[in-house]
Structures are given as structure tokens and as C-alpha cells.
Amino acid sequence: MKAAVWAGVNEVAVEDVPEPQLLNSHDVILKISKTVTCGSDLHLIGGYIPAMRTGDVLGHEFTGEVVEVGSGVRKVAVGDRVVVPSFVACGNCWYCRQELYSLCDNGNPDPGITEGLWGQSPGGCFGYSHAMGGYAGSHAEYMRVPYADVGCFLVPDGVSDTRALFASDSVTTGWTGAHLGGTKPGDVVAVWGAGAVGQMAARAAMLLGAEQVVVIDRLPERLAQVRQHVGAEAVDYSTTDVVAELRERTGGRGPDVCIEAVGMEAHGTGVTGVYDQVKQQLRLQTDRPVAVREAVRACRKGGSVFVLGVFAGMVDKFPLGAVMNKGLTLRGAQQHGQRYVPEILGHMERGELTTEHLATHTMPLSQAAEGYRIFKDKVDGCVRTVFEPGS
């Protein structure tokens, strides 16, 4: 079958790879209907995440039709239309029982690499390197989904594939940030990054009752989406002093919850921006924490900062003094999708949550290299490129 694979730093190629097989009784095989690029793939393709091998199948956000089921699968059957969170979780370990699914003790069959990096291994993720379990991803005609009763969710009849697709990763990630960031009714929430993840964090905060939500980016077409499709306020950081602007918009106090949805390749301005880029390129720091620093500065005293953007290792010039003296709560997570998908599909079914605008580009899987180029360079207003392996 055809699949889009990692072919070296900043190279994506479409190649013939072996078809997936059922490996244990809780697996299903999906025929992928739609699969989409994610900002996390850019860090991976750019060579910032260790343990990619050439030929690894990319992709972790997808919908599909069940075409084969293992003998132990109870929840889904052949012919079902499903969406699956990007993190693989067993549903039975201590972490899964706390609904911290991306921390599953059994989701990553190769925990050694991340244990070495971080002291403990989080779960595994589809199409996200051998550090995250070495699972073949969704940019393919067919895909194996382990722990299918935990990971597969039926898409309601009234919800299109294009809408449901984003319940796999972008929306669930946004939900994780807004919920575990502690958003309460009446709160002011600021979100850095107006990619699919930042937009969905903003929408989640609104649906959790936030009174005012502000999203920060510099790309005009994304800021326009924030206003038009999310219904939040938008701030252009390239022309605005963000910390001062947020103070101004919040009666001098600052946001209650600050969500960072930018990640390790953040775009910086001024001297610290150049400093971070040089240090990252010389491998003296692995990540560029521009937006996290700004979130810590902007957050109101006693507020909470949630890191959704992907970071791999060490950062420099981190304002720990502000975290301590301002009494902030600092938290982060890979998304705990299995916890939020049912609630999200409900919002999608009722029309309270729409995602179609994120799918700015749709093409056959054979054009994956071009699809990634458009997405990476953020040209032609691209927010996400959707691939249809069947077309």
C-alpha cells in the first residue's frame, strides 16, 4: 500500500510499505478516509525529535472505517466509522484509570529512550518516532489501531469526516489545555498560537464558560479565523506589546489562564529571539521557549500557565523567579484524548464546535510532499493539509 514516510530532515516521500496486520486480539485495522498534518509533525520532520528512521510512516490525526477486528474487540465492528486519539492507551493501567491517557504505562512498547530523556516514559503516539512507540502512522491507506476498545470512537451520523477528523488530536489537545489549565466560568483566557491547536484551545475555553478569550499570533489569515470561526479576540504579536495589551484588556490584572500552543520552534522577536534560534541550531538548547516566557510574564498573579506546544528537552532563560514569586501554576501535557472525545463529538453534533475551516487544503495522499511544504511554509493561508488516501 502507499504511505507518506519520513525521508530525512525536511523530506516527506510517498512510498510502498507493507500492509498492517492484526498483531493481537484487541487490534483493529482501519481503512483511512482522511488524515491531516499537525504542527507536531513539523518538529518531527525538521529533525528536532530523536529516533525517527527513514521510511517511518507519518501521521496521527485521522478518521477511518473499520475493516478487520481482533477476536477480543467488543466496542467496534467492521464497517464502523471511527475517530481515534493520537495517543495509544491501554485503558487499564494506573494512569489510564486516572484518565491521564497520554501517560499510559503500556502505550509505549519502547520506553527506554524517553525514560533516559525525562526520567519516565509517557505513552506512545501513532506516527511519532521510535521514542514514542514506533507505531506506523495514519498517512497511509490502512493502519493498525491497538487497544481498539479504548481508542476507537464511533462518529455520529450527523458529523462529517472533516469535522470529526480533528477530534483525533487538535480539538482534544485544545480541550486538555483549557480543562487541565483550570478554566472556570467567567475566566479570562489567553492562548499563544492560532494554529489548529490554539484555535481549538480557545474554543474549548469558551465552551467551558470563559468570559473573554484572546488568541495571539502574527499570521493575518489565522487571526481572521479566530475572529470568524472561533468567536474569540485576536492580537497580532508582530505589531503589539502582548503583555501590555493583555493587561490593558483585563482591567490591569492579566489573564487567569494562559495556554501556550506554539511549541519548540516558536518565532521570536528582538534579541532573545535571535539568541534562542542560534542556541537551538548549535544544539546548545533543544527548544525555543519564546511564547512560554511571555505567557509567564502576562499571567495574572496566582494564575495558571499550560504548555500544550511540544518541547523535547532543555530551555534556556526560563523565568522561574516569576513562576515562584507570582504564585503561578505551571502545567503541561500531551493530550488525554480518550477522556474528551465523547464530549467533543457531542459538541460537534450540536453544531457548537466546527472545525471545517481548519481544513484549508485537501489533496490525495500521493501529493503528501507538496501538502507538507505548503503547511510547513504556512503559504496560501494553510492551517492544515488533509490527505485522502482513497482519492
Ligand X SMILES: NC(=O)c1ccc[n+]([C@@H]2O[C@H](COP(=O)([O-])OP(=O)(O)OC[C@H]3O[C@@H](n4cnc5c(N)ncnc54)[C@H](O)[C@@H]3O)[C@@H](O)[C@H]2O)c1
> Where on the chain is the footprint of ligand X (CB under 6 A)?
38-40, 42-43, 169, 173, 192-198, 216-219, 222, 237, 261-263, 266-267, 290-291, 308-310, 334-335
- Given ligand X, Zn ion, none, residue 334, with its beta carbon under 5 to 8 Å by kind, binds ligand X
DSSP H or E segment with residue 281 = helix 270-281
Considering the rule CB under 5 A, would residue 40 count as an interface residue with Zn ion? yes
> Cβ–Cβ contacts within 10 Å for residue 354, how many?
15
* Rounded distance between C-alpha atoms, residue 35 and residue 250, angstroms: 39
Query: What are the grid coordinates assigned to 369, written together?
Result: 510532499
Considering the rule CB under 5 A, would residue 169 count as an interface residue with Zn ion? yes
Nearer to ligand X, 178 or 291 (CB): 291
* Rounded distance between C-alpha atoms, residue 232 and residue 218, angstroms: 15
Smallest gap from Cβ 60 to Zn ion, in A, equals 5
* Rounded distance between C-alpha atoms, residue 112 and residue 135, angstroms: 15
- Given Zn ion, ligand X, none, residue 96, with its beta carbon under 5 to 8 Å by kind, binds Zn ion
Considering the rule CB under 5 A, would residue 355 count as an interface residue with Zn ion? no
Smallest gap from Cβ 81 to Zn ion, in A, equals 21
Nearer to Zn ion, 106 or 114 (CB): 106
* Rounded distance between C-alpha atoms, residue 193 and residue 222, angstroms: 9
Considering the rule CB under 5 A, would residue 129 count as an interface residue with Zn ion? no
Nearer to ligand X, 29 or 214 (CB): 214
- Given Zn ion, ligand X, none, residue 198, with its beta carbon under 5 to 8 Å by kind, binds ligand X
Nearer to ligand X, 142 or 192 (CB): 192
- Given ligand X, Zn ion, none, residue 56, with its beta carbon under 5 to 8 Å by kind, binds none
Contact yes or no for 84/61 (Cβ under 8 A): no
Nearer to ligand X, 131 or 308 (CB): 308
Nearer to Zn ion, 90 or 348 (CB): 90
Smallest gap from Cβ 323 to ligand X, in A, equals 19
Site residues for Zn ion, 93-112, by CB under 5 A, read 93, 96, 104, 106
- Given Zn ion, ligand X, none, residue 290, with its beta carbon under 5 to 8 Å by kind, binds ligand X
Cβ neighbours of residue 265 closer than 8 Å, sequence gap 6 or more: 42, 43, 46, 48, 288
Nearer to ligand X, 310 or 374 (CB): 310
Q: Is 73 exposed, middle or buried (0-12, 13-18, 19+ CB in 10 A)?
A: buried
- Given ligand X, Zn ion, none, residue 90, with its beta carbon under 5 to 8 Å by kind, binds Zn ion
Query: What are the grid coordinates assigned to 283, written together?
Result: 544544539
Between the CA atoms of 267, 272, 278 and 284, what dihedral angle is there, to the nearest 10 degrees?
-110
Whole-number Cα distances in Å, 161 to 220, 260, 263, 270, 346: 27, 28, 27, 42, 15
Cβ neighbours of residue 119 closer than 8 Å, sequence gap 6 or more: none
Smallest gap from Cβ 79 to Zn ion, in A, equals 27
- Given ligand X, Zn ion, none, residue 196, with its beta carbon under 5 to 8 Å by kind, binds ligand X
Task: Report angle CA 379, 178, 125 to the nearest 5 degrees.
Answer: 65
Contact yes or no for 296/305 (Cβ under 8 A): yes
Smallest gap from Cβ 155 to Zn ion, in A, equals 19
Considering the rule CB under 5 A, would residue 73 count as an interface residue with Zn ion? no
Q: Which residues sit at the interface with Zn ion, rule CB under 5 A?
A: 38, 40, 89-90, 93, 96, 104, 106, 169
